[in-house]
Amino acid sequence: MVAQEKTLDDLFLDTLKDIYYAEKQILRTLPKMAKAAQSPELKKAFETHRDETEGHVERLTEVFELIGKAPRGKTCDAILGIIEEGKGIIEEFEGSPALDAGLVAAAQAVEHYEMARYGTLKAWAQQLGHQEAVALLDQTLGEETKTDKLLSQLGLTATNKKAA
């Protein structure tokens, strides 16, 4: 038998499953990061982003529905590794002035992964003619970018100075 050739549709679905799994993992991790954060501003940023992440999962569910597929995740080793690094920072720097700077760095690694995934999915959705999906993915990409900028600002104005 000849293996069926994979298409951009297949890749789109596979990557959609990847980010769906990642968002679910992030939902479970953000409360731990908020609890570990020393700065009230950073704690609030993690709590706010947790609420936004619930919306990201809802939008992804909509995208699955738009393409006629059931929402299902696929293990994302990349996000598991990034989350593990964040746990390591919490354990290694607990109680130190550098903890919040480390949490910002860990959170930005997550954001950058998400931004890469959402940017790619948006481009593929455009190519595949999934206009409604493009709008949903773009909305989430905008929120991820905004969160990354907020984290950068917190790092530059507070956490990095405290860590030094």
Residue 2 lies in a domain: no
Q: Contact at 8 Å (CB) between 27 and 57?
A: yes
Domain CATH number, residue 19: 1.20.1260.10
Q: What are the backbone dihedrals phi and psi of residue 117, each rounded to the nearest 5 degrees, phi first?
A: -65, -50
pLDDT at position 2 is: 61
Tell me the pTM. 0.93
Domain span at residue 154 reads 8-163
Residue 102 lies in a domain: yes
What type of residue is 35?
K
Residue 3 lies in a domain: no
Residue 29 lies in a domain: yes
Convert the pLDDT of each residue in 26-81 to its tens digit.
999 999 999 999 999 999 999 999 999 999 999 999 999 999 999 999 999 999 99
Report how many domains make up the chain: 1
